[in-house]
């Protein structure tokens, strides 16, 4: 009975040891084995019969450990495969997220810079348009002024020509000084219009002298006036030619400026079109890269969660295996102790029987 009590104490100690909820040893009943060993001891069964019970239990524990080893090896292989797969997925998602975020930042920065350039380009375009409008307005005003001044020069030349004709009629004796007075007024008006009164002053003075000498004129006086008229006409014609040449130069400069402004406006329009196309592409880039980054972020979060869950599950597998393996080691140690204790008990009983037999033999001999 002492042996049985000792075994029960050991059994209680082993049972009190912490066990994993997945401990496969729960499939066996160590208490039942102990009860069977106790029954065989009470029935004085042979030692081999009792040890066979313990050996069967030990074989069951070993078989269970082998099966668990196979399951654990499979779990480890699956965990390694899952870790490798999720690690690769997380790394791929991180790479895509990094690249798409970098591309998105580039597109956003380029869009801001392009927008600023486009604003400057539009300001330059509006300035060029305003400049062209002012140049066209000035050219139109200048053209009207030239046309009026040209008519004034032509009127002055016509008045001089008329004075020469009148002077010729006077020289031939058929003309009248009254006509000289009339044409003088016309010449004076045109002199003011073309701002050449200084050039007309000598002829006006000559006309005044002719009027004062009416009836006493000689041919030499008429010839001097005719020469003055020729000189005046040459001077006015030269001034008219210079004014026409100056206007032609102004028109050429205007045309050149107009052409350059037109080229500038065309260049700014083309540049604005390129900038607008670039902005359109950048908006598409921002949309595309944002979608890629969002997808990559979702993939990263999803795979990271699955990876964490897989690592937790694999850690649970390892803990389960370690706890179950330790529990089986404890059971095997208990079985070994039981085998030793049973063997010692049988040796003790055998010694006690031998001594009793000797005492009985001695008593019978007396």
Rg, Å, the chain Cα set = 65
Can you give the pTM of this predicted structure? 0.59
What integer pLDDT is reported at residue 118 of this predicted model? 93
What integer pLDDT is reported at residue 193 of this predicted model? 87
> Which two three-digit tokens encode residue 129?
């348009």
Poorest-confidence range of 95-99, 201-205, 213-217, 342-346? 213-217
Residues 6+ apart with CB under 8 A from 118: 272, 275, 276, 279
Summarize pLDDT for 162-179 with one digit per residue, the tens: 888 888 887 777 666 677
* Under 8 Å between Cβ of 75 and 278: no
CA-nearest of 278, 277, 276, 290 to 103 is 290
Poorest-confidence range of 6-15, 178-187, 247-256, 324-333? 6-15
Higher pLDDT, 79 or 22: 79
Summarize pLDDT for 48-60 with one digit per residue, the tens: 887 888 888 888 9
* Under 8 Å between Cβ of 187 and 157: no
Poorest-confidence range of 43-52, 269-278, 285-294? 43-52
What's the mean pLDDT in 215-219?
65
Over pLDDT 90: what percentage of the chain? Answer: 42
Residue by residue, DSSP assigns 76-143 as HHHHHHHHHHHHHHHHHHHHHHHHHHHHHHHHHHHHHHHHHHHHHHHHHHHHHHHHHHHHHHHHHHHH
Higher pLDDT, 292 or 37: 292
Poorest-confidence range of 42-46, 202-206, 322-326? 42-46
Q: 32-58 burial string, b = 16+ CB within 10 Å, else e?
A: ebbebbbebbeeeeebeebbebbeebb
CA separation for the pair 2, 11 (Å, rounded): 14
What integer pLDDT is reported at residue 273 of this predicted model? 94
What integer pLDDT is reported at residue 156 of this predicted model? 87
Residue 26 scores a pLDDT above 70: no
Average pLDDT score, the chain = 83
Local confidence band at 17 (pLDDT 50, 70, 90 cut-offs): very low
Summarize pLDDT for 284-337 with one digit per residue, the tens: 999 999 999 999 999 999 999 999 999 999 999 999 999 999 999 998 898 888
């Amino acid at each position: 009975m002492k042996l049985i009590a000792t075994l029960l104490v050991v059994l209680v100690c082993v049972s009190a040891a912490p066990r994993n909820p997945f401990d496969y040893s729960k499939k066996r009943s160590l208490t039942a084995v102990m009860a069977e060993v106790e029954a065989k001891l009470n029935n004085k069964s042979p030692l081999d019969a009792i040890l066979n019970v313990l050996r069967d239990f030990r074989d069951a524990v070993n078989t269970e450990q082998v099966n668990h080893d196979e399951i654990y090896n499979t779990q480890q292989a699956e965990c390694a495969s899952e870790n490798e797969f999720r690690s690769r997925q997380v790394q791929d998602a991180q790479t895509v997220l990094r690249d798409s975020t970098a591309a998105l930042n580039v597109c956003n920065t380029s869009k801001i810079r392009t927008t600023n350039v486009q604003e400057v380009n539009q300001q330059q375009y509006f300035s060029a348009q305003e400049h062209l409008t002012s140049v066209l307005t000035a050219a139109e005003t200048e053209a009207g002024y030239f046309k009026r001044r040209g008519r004034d020069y032509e009127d002055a030349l016509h008045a001089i020509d008329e004075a020469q004709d009148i002077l010729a009629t006077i020289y031939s004796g058929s003309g009248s000084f009254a006509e000289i007075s009339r044409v003088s007024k016309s010449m004076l008006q045109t002199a003011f219009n073309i701002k050449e009164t200084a050039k007309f002053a000598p002829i006006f003075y000559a006309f005044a002298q002719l009027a004062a000498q009416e009836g006493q004129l000689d041919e030499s006086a008429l010839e001097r006036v005719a020469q003055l008229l020729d000189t005046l006409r040459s001077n006015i014609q030269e001034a008219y030619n210079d004014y026409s040449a100056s206007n032609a130069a102004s028109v050429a400069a205007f045309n050149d400026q107009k052409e350059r402004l037109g080229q500038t406006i065309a260049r700014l329009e083309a540049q604005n079109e390129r900038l607008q196309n670039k902005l359109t592409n950048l908006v598409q880039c921002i949309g595309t890269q944002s979608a890629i980054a969002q997808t990559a972020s979702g993939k990263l979060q999803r795979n990271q969660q699955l990876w964490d869950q897989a690592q937790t599950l694999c850690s649970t597998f390892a803990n389960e295996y370690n706890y179950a393996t330790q529990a089986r080691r404890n059971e095997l140690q208990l079985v070994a102790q039981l085998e030793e204790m049973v063997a010692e008990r049988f040796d003790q009983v055998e010694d006690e029987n031998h001594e009793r037999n000797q005492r009985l033999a001695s008593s019978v001999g007396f």
